[in-house]
Structure formats: C-alpha cells, structure tokens
Amino acid sequence: MSSGPVSALTVQEPSHTPRPALSRSVTGTLNGSSSSLTLQAKKNTVLKSHGRPPWYGEDGKPICDAFVIGIAGGSASGKTHVARRIVQSLGSIPTVIILSQDSFYKRHTPEEIELAHASRFDFDHPDAIDMPLFASCLADLKSCKQTNIPIYSFTEHQRLDETKYLYGAAIIIAEGIMALHDPTLRALYDLKIFVQCDSDLMLARRIRRDVKERGRNVDGVLEQYLRYVKPSYDNFVLPTSKYANIIVPGSDNNVAIELISTHIRRQLNERATRLRQHLVGPRDLISQSAIPLEAHSNLALLPQTPQLKGILTKLRDRTTKRGDFIFFTDRLSTFLAEKATEFLPYKPRSVVTQVDATYNGKEIAAKCVCGVSILRSGGPLEQGLRRVISDIRMGSLLIQSEASTGEPLLLHLLLPTCIRDRKTAQDTWVFLLDAQIGTAAAAFMAIRVLLDHGVLPEHIIFVTFLVARSGGIHVLQRAFPGVRIVCAAIDDELREMWLPGVDEGDGKAVTEGRKAWVVEPGMGHIGDRYYL
Amino acid sequence: MVLENAPSSQTTPAALPPSVFTLPQTAQLEALYTIIRDKDTSRGDFLFYSDRIIRLLVEEGLNHLPVVPKTVETPTGATYEGVGFEGKICGVSILRAGEAMEAGLREVCRSVRIGKILIQRDEETAQPKLFYAKLPQDIASRYVLLLDPMLATGGSAAKAVEVIKEHGVPEERIIFINLVRATPCEQGPRAGPPVCRELGRDLGLRSCAPARITTHHQIQGAA
C-alpha cells in the first residue's frame, strides 16, 4: 500500500479495491516521483514532527485557534499535491491535519446507492457533500477541540458507522473541489487557496490515472467527465476561485508554495510570540499563595498517619531497593486511589442481602469513570487504580519537557473512547495520574487536553504522590479551580538541578543525566526508580 | 523511642469502647458495602470489593503499630525526617472466613506470616472450642493482626484472643480486624457479651453493620 500516491487513501478506504472513477478523485500528481513518496502526508491523520507546545495561557484558556487553510480546485488539479508540498515546506510544524472533503459525502438512500453503482450518481454536485457536518468538524478542530469525522467507503458508496477521531493540530488543511463553496466553511479559513489548472491538463491527468491505476477504459472516463465532472467544475468549482486569497497554478508552482509557506510561518510565529508572553516559565511560579495549600478545599491530602509516614520514608530513602520501592509505591497508589474514589458522585441504592433483608446503600452515580496517566511517571499510579476499579479504562498522555526551554511538549495521546466523543466526555469522570506536581507544566497541559475534549473540570480528579508547595500548584489551582487534587504529601522545595545518570556499577548507563526541576525532599525521579 | 498513642485517621463512636475504631463512613465505603451485601453480586465482584475494604482495614490496623523517628537521605541529596516501622507483625486468621482476608493482608504486608486457628461450636456445651491452631514460632515477639470478617456474638473471637494470649502475646499487641460487627443491642438471645468489653484493651477495628443481617451464615456462605 505504501507504493504510489494512492497510499494516502487507505486511511479512509477499508478495502484495497480501487474506487470507481465516478467518485471524486483526490490523488496527487502525475509527476509523483518515488523519492517524494516518503514525504507524502496522510490525509485525515494528525501528522507530527515533534511534540505540540502549549496552546494555552496562564489562565488555562487556549490562546489561539488552529490555523485553517482551505484548498479548492478542479478534479485532478493538484490540490493534494499543493497541500502536501505546504506541509513539506513548513518542515518542523508540530501537528498538521489534511482534511479531505471526500470523508463528508452524505449518507445515501438505497436508491442513491444503486445509482452510484451504476455510475449515475452525481458526486460532483455540492449537494452530495454534508456541508454542515464538514463545517462543524472543521470548527471543532479550529477551536482546538477533538472531532470525529465520518468515514466514507467508496466501495460501498456509503458512509460507514465508524468515525475517525482527530485532535490537536496546529494547522488544518481542508481540501476538496467544493472546499470554498460553502459560506460557513469559508468563514473558518485563515487562508483560502484555489488551485487553478488548465482543463486539458486536468482531463489528461484524469484519463491517465483512471486508465492506468483503476483499469477504466477511456470511453467510460470521458463519458463521466462530460456528464458530471466538467459541468460541476464550470458551475460550482471555478466560480469559487473568486473567494480565494491566492490562486496557485496546478503545475510548476514552487514559487507559489514558497510564498504560501512563508506567509503561514510568519502567522504561526506571531501566535507563538503571543503565547510565550502569556506563558509562565517555572521561575515565575514561585508565587506563594496567602492561603496554605492544606486549607485549599480542592486539595485532599491523605491523613498523615504513622503508616503513611513510614511508607513515605521508605519511598524517599535513596537506599531503598527497587523491589521495596515498587511494593510501597503500589501500596501507596492503592491508598491514593481509594481516597480519590471518595470524590466520585454517589446515589442511593437498595439491595437485598443473602438473608433477604433490604439494605439501603449507595452506588457510584458517574456514567463513565476512566483513568488517564501522564507517562512515564503516572504509570506507577495505574496499578493502584486498577486495584480499586479493576476494569477501569485507562488512557495515557506522553508529555515531555523540551530540554532547552523546559516547555512541555505533548508527544502522544491515547484517550479512552468515552473521552474521545464529546457527548460522553461530559458525563465522564477522569482520574488523572502523575507522580508529582512540581512546576505543574505537565499537569496543566494534561488538564487542558481533557477540557478540550469536553470533560468538566469538576469531573477531573488529579491523583499524585507529591505536591511541591512552592511550585506550579498555585497557578494550576487558579487556572482550574474545579479540578480536585489528591496527594500523599506536600513537600516544601522545588529547585532546578542536574539529575545525574544512574548506572548499574558496571559502567553501563541505565539513564542519562539531565536537568530537571525536582521536588524536595521528594522521592527522586519516581518513574526511573519504578521502571529502570 | 517509641511513639505512644499513635494518631489515627479514624473515629470512635461514643457508644463503643475506646478500643474500637471505625473506618470513616464515606459514601464510597457505603457503596463498597452495598456491593458485598447484595445477594446478586457475583463471586468475583464479592471477592474484589471485599478485598478493597480489607485493604483499607489493614492499612488502618497498621496505624496502631509503633513507629520510630528515622532520618533518610533522598535520591536528590535532601534529608527527610520520617519514621521507620518498628516491631514485627503476623496475621492470624480464624478459619474459614478469616482466610478470605489473607489476600488483602498480603497486598499490604508482603510475605507476612499467617497463622491459623479453627474454632467451632462444641455441640454438647454450646461453647466455642479450639480445634486447631498453627501459629508462628515467635508469635510472642510479634504484633498480631487477627482476621475474621464477622463479629456477631464474639464467641469465637474471644476464644481466638485467648489462644493467642496463651502463646505469650500481650493483649495490647492484638489488633482484631473485621468487616462487619453486630451492634450489641441488636444481638440475638444467645449472644454473649460484646467481645470488646470482654477483651479489655484489645483494639477492635470494625465497620458498622445492622445486626439482623450479620449472621455467621451469611459471611461463611458468601466468603
């Protein structure tokens, strides 16, 4: 599947059979040399080069929307090529989605499907596309929310019941022949591009592609072209070029693409500068609050019993062996998880006991409960959560801080299905797990991700071993006052230091040394001690 | 130095002897009890949720063990004024129901030694009678966590405590852990005196439950 420009289509086509030529084409160019194939961007997928830097300010709110580009143009005019070249020339842009209009074909009636199979359905008409859905998905993505786009099967000529989850792109490129047709869609674009291509060239490309790659005969291709493709282009596609900010030639367009990507880069740079002004570096975080942390109603500290102090002593001790460390970590995480479940909602429930008496008890009133751990350090808390809710759905976020700036980067996310869907996310309670809250940068980002998905702040319970009194906890609480934090201890210090690499004594390094903010007295690097 | 009168996270209702500690009655705990009381609860769920309560009970029970101040150095070179565990422990389960609590105990106290006691009612005298006791050799030097999910008349519990004391364990080193306990006023006609009164300084840990459903039959059938 990876050979040839069609590979991009596999995202939305479950079957490998070439789709009928009647359908709208989205393949790339005729001159797609094999060397450029590796750089081809998959459609309807979040493409990442490196992690996603913060997209929100100190107040916890997103600072700017994603940058949205609309690319329209005739069939086989080279829209996808232009989109891919833009992505390619932007180089180090963290996250990009190329959204294809083809995903938004309407759900068809049986009669329409029959017509489609007989090549008598006009797929090139604007009415064939579910514009309101297209616009709402695009609007979600633009405002940094998740969306679930439909999947259209060209073999069945029908929209499938499954949807594809997309989240977290800084740049969105929507492309399709009708991309500039709908006024609601047009209102969403930051940049509108029309790919202008000579009709003869488009037809030539189309014939070559359909004959060579899809085994169609020339007569059939021409008939379809004359019946649907050409009238549609003249009546609906070409007129939308007047809405475009830039008209790009369909071939030899290197200069145009260079200009476009320069423009986009400048726009993104401006946004990044604005963002940096809003963001707080760890050094600014030392802003002591007047109220002691312990008095904060949304921070639940485990009762400081002798056993708890004993466990913490074991965990803090540098001489504690790995086996003991893991055992006591699991024990403490279980205890924390038990404490955290106290904050779930409960409702009355009557049951009949074995001796046929009625007992008026309670049950959890949350529709969906799941866990999300911030990797790697959140991992040690998973065991405890599973001991408390054995079948809990677990998701994860990989957030790492960038070595040079200390800025957190979202590298990967895998969320439970109940959060992926906006409707169920509202009724979902989430245990967010991380070993400690130091600068709170990762916690901040993780909470923002959950809020972007529609989880209510009051439904987020952050479970952690340690909170640094002088760290980012204050900023976190100010930005997200509804989020509850459950911790085992509050430590006084937070300082930046060089964490030396650990080696097993035989010269082989287990971890590399690195600069990091550490909580003190703390427990050292909990992830390293638990896993390495 | 041993810290005396270890503070506990628990409360003692006024009507109970001071040696009885009850877990905080949170909605979450109530929900756990609702599941294990429900006769339609599956065996797997019953075991899972009773284990959760047992873990909480054992964690609380361990708070009654002494600790000593201990200063440690953290991996980042800071010092921490903590505490170290003091004194060895062992578990003793009263067969058969007590065995159900062993897994929960082991999850909190790895590789803990567990002794067993079998007590049954003597059909002639109607008194609890010791049938079997296998206890760790050095039990006299240990703190004992006595495990039995149900406390109704307290007959077998009192007998078990007696046996453990005979093995040289002072009463104040016995921590009795149970899931449900009948309130004295609601006990049936055959009920003996409440065990905690009889045992004096023994620390009974319990979670409240209406007496009418806390018969031996129930737990033994279910566990």
Is the ipTM here above 0.85? no
Q: Which of B51, B34, B8 is nearest to B205 (CA)?
A: B8
Residue of B nearest to A523 (CA): B74
Amino acid at A40: Q
Rounded distance between C-alpha atoms, residue A362 and residue B34, angstroms: 6
Rounded distance between C-alpha atoms, residue B19 and residue B6, angstroms: 13
Query: pTM (2 decimals)?
Result: 0.79
Nearest to A357 among B35, B75, B213 (CB): B213
Could you give the count of Cα atoms lying within 13 Å of B98 in the half-sphere of its Cβ? Answer: 21
Biggest CA-to-CA distance, chain A: 86
Q: How many Cβ atoms are within 10 Å of B120's Cβ, its own excluded?
A: 13
Q: Is the dihedral of CA A212, A214, A216, A220 positive or negative?
A: negative
pLDDT digits (tens, 9 = 90+) for B177-222: 888 766 544 433 333 334 443 333 333 444 333 322 222 222 222 2
- pLDDT of A22 reads 33
Contact B67 A306 (CB under 8 A): yes
Rounded distance between C-alpha atoms, residue A99 and residue A84, angstroms: 12
Cβ A510 vs Cβ A504: under 8 Å: yes
Shortest Cα–Cα distance, A391 to chain B (Å): 11
The conformation of residue A20, written as its DSSP 8-state character, comes to P
Domain boundary assignment for chain B:
16-211
Cβ A268 vs Cβ A67: under 8 Å: yes
Q: Which residues of B touch A338 (CB under 8 A)?
A: 28, 52, 55-56
- pLDDT of A141 reads 92
CB pairs under 8 A between A and B: 146
The residues in A 489-508 lying below 8 A from B, measured between CB atoms, are 493, 497, 499
Q: Which residues of B touch A359 (CB under 8 A)?
A: 33-34, 37-38, 210, 213
- pLDDT of A514 reads 65
Beta pairing class for A171-175 and A67-73: parallel
Tell me the backbone φ, ψ of residue A427, rounded to 5 degrees. Answer: -100, 10
pLDDT digits (tens, 9 = 90+) for B78-108: 889 999 988 888 999 888 778 888 888 888 8
Q: Which of A42, A152, A140 is nearest to A99 (CA)?
A: A42
**Interface residue B145 vs chain A (CB under 8 A):** no
For residue B164, what are its two tokens? 């453990």
- pLDDT of B172 reads 81
Q: How many Cβ atoms are within 10 Å of B210's Cβ, its own excluded?
A: 15
Rounded distance between C-alpha atoms, residue B139 and residue B143, angstroms: 8
Q: Which residues of A touch B59 (CB under 8 A)?
A: 307, 335
The residues in A 248-307 lying below 8 A from B, measured between CB atoms, are 303, 305-307
- pLDDT of B102 reads 86
Rounded distance between C-alpha atoms, residue A65 and residue A189, angstroms: 11
Contact B37 A361 (CB under 8 A): yes
Residue of A nearest to B85 (CA): A310
Q: Could you list the pLDDT tens digit for every one of the 532 residues in chain A?
A: 333 333 332 333 333 333 333 333 333 322 333 333 334 556 766 666 667 888 888 888 888 888 899 999 888 888 888 888 888 888 766 678 888 888 898 888 888 888 877 777 888 888 888 999 999 999 999 998 999 999 988 777 788 888 899 898 888 999 998 889 889 989 999 999 999 888 888 889 888 888 887 777 888 888 888 888 888 889 998 898 899 898 988 878 888 888 988 888 888 888 776 666 555 444 454 455 556 777 788 899 999 999 899 999 999 998 988 888 999 999 999 999 999 999 999 999 998 888 888 888 899 998 899 999 998 788 899 989 999 998 899 999 988 877 666 678 888 888 999 999 988 999 999 999 999 988 888 899 999 999 999 999 999 999 999 998 887 888 888 889 999 999 999 988 888 777 666 555 555 555 666 677 788 888 888 888 888 7
Q: Which residues of A touch B66 (CB under 8 A)?
A: 306
Q: Pick the residue with more confidence: A142 or B127?
A: A142
Amino acid at A128: A
The residues in A 30-89 lying below 8 A from B, measured between CB atoms, are none
- pLDDT of A399 reads 87
Rg of chain B over Cα atoms, rounded to whole angstroms, equals 18
Q: Which residues of B touch A522 (CB under 8 A)?
A: 74-76, 78
Rounded distance between C-alpha atoms, residue B162 and residue A249, angstroms: 96
Residue of A nearest to B218 (CA): A354
Three-class secondary structure assignment of A439-465: CCHHHHHHHHHHHHCCCCHHHEEEEEE
Q: Which residues of A touch B85 (CB under 8 A)?
A: 310
**Interface residue B37 vs chain A (CB under 8 A):** yes
Q: How many Cβ atoms are within 10 Å of A217's Cβ, its own excluded?
A: 11
Rounded distance between C-alpha atoms, residue A401 and residue A516, angstroms: 9
Q: Is the peptide bond before B96 cis (omega within 30 degrees of 0)?
A: yes
Cβ B223 vs Cβ B102: under 8 Å: no
Yes or no: domain B16-211 corresponds to CATH 3.40.50.720: no
The residues in B 164-223 lying below 8 A from A, measured between CB atoms, are 210, 212-213, 215, 217-218, 221-222
